[in-house]
Amino acid sequence: MPSSDAYFWDRAARKYAKSKIADQVGYERTLDRTRALLKPADRVLELGCGTGTTALLLAGSVHSYVGTDISTEMIAIAHEKHQERHVPGLTFSKATAETLAAQGMQFDAVLAFSYLHLVRDLADTLRCIHDMLAPGGLFISKTPCIGEMNLLIRQFLLPAMRAVGKAPYVSIFNSVALTQLVSAAGFDLLANESHAAKGKDVRPYIVARKRA
């Protein structure tokens, strides 16, 4: 991700940390489903962990959990939260899928919640995630599919907000294209679910296993 992406999230971090989860019931469904998929001995990586909220809620049920984000400020807030509520085996660091894959890191599960639509080269990011997973490892994601949102939002509002620094870079794709890219990266799709409490969910929850 370019430095401009990190700069945007660094500036937004403190305000982001104070914002409420828009769909708490849907978020709880995602947490419960993910916990059920993770095993106590798993080494878990979360990409785009933001201020660490999800990591702090999931890390206690696995062997080790690494929360990463491109933003220095997001990670700083995550560290502050972890100091207040320490969870054994949980660490936070500034990193991306690409930098971790280059280091030869290996995990049993990789999580990406509200992350894939923010990367510049989705196909390459998915390949990096595939490379980091142990044989049979799980890739679990929940991704806003901008291509299924209102036409005015994706063609006019988002570009206008980006132009004045009020929105980050986002990739525009739909759920069909997303699942095709995940499969092409070497994964077998196990589940494609909707966790929204009400209305249409444009954020499919996808579970995929690294293909043998």
- The string of pLDDT tens digits covering residues 53-72 is 999 999 999 999 999 999 99
Structural domain that includes position 174 = 3-210
Question: How many domains does one find in the chain?
Answer: 1
Q: Which residue has the tokens 């104070």?
A: 18
- At residue 184, does pLDDT exceed 60? yes
Higher pLDDT, 53 or 159: 53
Q: In what order do the strands lie in the sheet with 90-94?
A: 90-94, 64-69, 43-47, 107-113, 133-142, 205-210, 187-193
Nearest Cα residue to 54 out of 113, 123, 116, 119: 113
| pLDDT band at 84; cut points 50, 70, 90 | very high
Percentage of the chain lying above the pLDDT 70 cut: 95
pLDDT tens by residue, 4-61? 899 999 999 999 999 999 899 999 999 999 999 999 999 999 999 999 999 999 999 9
Q: What pLDDT was estimated at residue 197? A: 87
pTM: 0.93
The CATH number of whichever domain residue 66 belongs to comes to 3.40.50.150
Q: What pLDDT was estimated at residue 156? A: 61
Neighbours of 48 (CB within 10 A): 25
